Structure 1
Amino acid sequence: MKISFRALAAASIAAISMFAGSAMAADKLVIGTDSTYPPFEYVDASGQFLGFDMDIGRALCAQMKVECTFVSNDWDGIIPALQAKKFDMILSSMSITPERSKLVDFTNKYYNTPPAIAVPKDSPAKTIEDLKGKTIGAQSSTTHANYAEKHLSGTELKLYPTADEYKLDISNGRIDAVIDDIVVLSQWVKSDAGACCKILTPLKSDPEINGIGAGIAVRKGDTALKDKLNAAIAAIRADGTYKKIQDKYFDFDVYGE
């Protein structure tokens, strides 16, 4: 799951001047997402928003009987854009963390998966201890980057604006390992694009950093929308819609404990 920020408060203030007005009327909602994070969110060649998160979003909107549209936004500026009313909510694998909860309100979780590390297939590393002195790539402004800073002492952390960029660097031998959500890395190493690499190990989540699962972020005080979303999450879990979407992408329970 993509996750925690630094210098976010300053960025929030700066971004508020960039956008004006509310996103849409109450029966029409705009969903913000960083569409560079397959299999959770991505855009195909025709510009269609696809992925687990996008299908969950469509199911929630259908449950709430509202019309929804998706807007792509860079991850680093996605909370400031929400605060500035560019869109009504963030549905983008955003982990519920104490730091973010100071800036936005979160729904209940809609999935929860741990982080992991991937390395080249010919890497001599057998454990995370073997990565000391090595360079690890991560997407910037994420809990995975923060996890590496806290728990992977002795390594050099290299940050990238998107996951695609760290994947390119490890594929070309410019870094020694990468850290991200286990689902993202597992599906990537099974693809042609990720044939370079393998999962070294899953990691034990740190709740203070990784949070308690991915939630949908709304603006502070938007209790009405948060409550509607929570009710819709419970409803699609109860009627089988959630499982149908999950089974389209995963062969395990992505909802977690």
Structure 2
Amino acid sequence: MKKFLWLLAILTVLVSVASCSDANLDETGEEHSVLRVGMELKYPPFETKDASGNPEGVSVMLAEALGDYLDVEIEIVDTAYASLIPALEQGNIDIIISSMTITPAREELVDFSIPYTNSQLMLLAHKDSIVQSPDDLNNPEVVIASKSGTIGALWAAENAPLAKILNVEEEASAVLEVAQGSADVFIYDPLSIIRHHENYKETTRTILEPLPNTKGWGIAMRKGETDLKNQIDAFIEEAKTDGTYETIREAYLKEKIEEFESYGLEFFF
């Protein structure tokens, strides 16, 4: 009997330890749910790292505000952009907040929230390229550089099938292809297009005409998580009017907003 009680006590301790390893405890010792948010921390000022290597930026602040709204702890999981949806499907992350444009192809794999920003695609062109507007892209003589897995790559495949599409892993490499004249254009958001043109003023020009057939950025989650989607949609609606967006804009976007205005563009967040 004593041996049985001893074994029962050991088993109880092991179960208790296992349970604690799966729970996150706050400073009061109470269990606190964790929402793992996937994003690629290579896209300032939306997803990036501070000098100490900690996640920061617009998307990080948005994720933290969502955590407050849902009363959960937020864990940022730095994930390569092309691996975000697979990571979500495999259960390694719970949602994606990574400047991800809602597209029909992605909607086949994941569910999206309502858009939390407008999303526009524009062009960085080599100074001597034949491309003068989006109408010129669907041409076998045009080379389009894009970052693999991004909306620019998806848009090119769907809307410019006659063009030669050069997909590369890094944004900077795609931009360099244009700057050096190996590609005609790079497709991306206007924030990035303006920034890259500033870095290569002598060899590039901007075409700040929005490409057609694009939607806004959404928060992605696994298929069928209706309750979570409804909560996230409600959060986005509230965040747009309760001062959350204004706080984020003040923290990270003031200079970018002024830069957009100097180009005659309305900022998209």
Larger radius of gyration between Structure 1 and Structure 2: 2
Deviation at 1:145, TM superposition (A): 1.8
Whole-Å Cα distance in 2 between the matches of residues 51 and 193 of structure 1?
25
Secondary structure class of the residue paired with 1:63: helix
* Aligned-residue offset at 1:153: 5.3
Q: Under a length normalisation based on structure 2, what TM-score does the superposition of the two structures give?
A: 0.74
1:217 pairs with 2:225: no
Shift of 1:245: 1.4
Distance in 1 between the 2:220 and 2:170 partners?
20
Task: State whether structure 2 residue 114 is matched by structure 1 residue 111.
Answer: no
1: distance between equivalents of 2:23 and 2:116?
A: 23
1:140 aligns with 2:148: yes
Aligned counterpart, 2:239: 236
Q: How many residues align?
A: 229
The alignment's C-alpha RMSD in Å is 2.7
Q: Does 1:175 align with 2:187?
A: no
Gaps of 5+ in 2: 1-21, 25-30, 258-265
Amino acid at match of 1:219: R
Q: Report the residue type matching 2:210 in the other structure.
A: L
Please report how far the alpha carbon of residue 102 of structure 1 lies from its aligned counterpart in structure 2 after TM superposition: 2.2
CA distance in 2, matches of 1:195, 1:34: 30
Tell me if the contact between 2:88 and 2:222 (Cα under 8 Å) persists in the aligned partners: yes
Would you say the 8 A contact 1:134–1:156 is kept in 2?
yes
Q: Which moved more, 1:117-126 or 1:48-57?
A: 117-126
Relative to structure 1, the CA distance from residue 205 to residue 130 in structure 2 (aligned partners, 3 Å threshold; closer, same or farther) is closer
Q: Which has the higher helix share?
A: 2
Structure 2 distance, partners of 1:183, 1:144, is 13
Contact kept? 2:134, 2:209, Cα under 8 Å:
no
Distance 1:154 1:228, change over 3 A: closer
1:196: how far off? Answer: 4.8
Whether contact under 8 Å (2:61, 2:248) holds in the other structure is: yes
Provide the rounded CA distance (Å) in 1 between the counterparts of 2:45 and 2:64: 16
Q: Which has the higher strand share?
A: 1
